[in-house]
Structure 1
Amino acid sequence: MRNLLVSLAACLAVFQFSACKQTQKSASGNGGLETVMSVPATVTAGSPVMLQFTVYNRSGVDSQFCKWHTPFEGFISSFLDIKDAAGTDVQYRGAMAKRVMPPPAEAYIKVPAGDSVSVTVDLLKGYDLTKPGQYKAVYQAGGMSGLMKVNEISFSVQ
């Protein structure tokens, strides 16, 4: 019985992390979606740290991705790994949503062929970026959203 429960839990975990991936795929296998993050190179301590998160569809077919664990849903989950110059993780201070799987249709954002969608959020509202210093951020929620091609960003808080 215990082996059955362990097997069932493993199957559910695999399903959960694969359920929200892109549903429309091109011949290259990635749906043609590429994400570019950008922030100002330098911000003043205590001022907004505005992240622009843009998803481009470079393919010839419409595609979609799950907005869960992306800035498109705000700070409902931690979607970035942010570290200071010493390699210390910056504390996430937003909500951590629990999800019902599979995602409903309204959890997906369509990106027409050759087009893009974009959102801007203030990282200060979800992460503790109050100390001056150098920071690096990496998008870490591709397993949920399906957005795998995402650049790393660096910025300075002064």
Structure 2
Amino acid sequence: MQSKALTPEEYLFNLPENRKDVMNKLRNTIKDNLPQGFEEVMSYGMIGFVVPHLIYPKGYHCDPKLPLPFISLASQKNFIALYHMGIYADNRLLEWFVAEYPKHCKTKLDMGKSCIRFKKMDNIPFDLIGELAKRVSVADWITKYEIVFKR
């Protein structure tokens, strides 16, 4: 489900009431922990945290007019999704996250390549998401992106 919202605030305003508080808390957790240089935007109908063209003029290889994506946040029909490109690109970061998750959550990790799905709103490990957000700097992400995706 892609939103047509033009701003993160509009995106959050249009959510069902039972999702607003959780999505706001998740968004703020990410914003409060991301290293300097990432920018919050709407991207692909989701709240996105990207490396802006000012820092990385090449943009996203799939569409260079778009800034380089890093984290996206979406309220889907049956879950809240957190897309983290660093987990997709860096096996050490993925291994760290998978090992840490059970220390913060009683539920089984529901994850795809870069997508972490939260079906139960009261089981989101906000402190772990904050730690995940702060683990990759803009410079580290650009370096990893160019190694993994820009062959």
More strand by share: 1
TM range (shorter): under 0.3
TM-score by length of 1: 0.24
TM-score by length of 2: 0.25
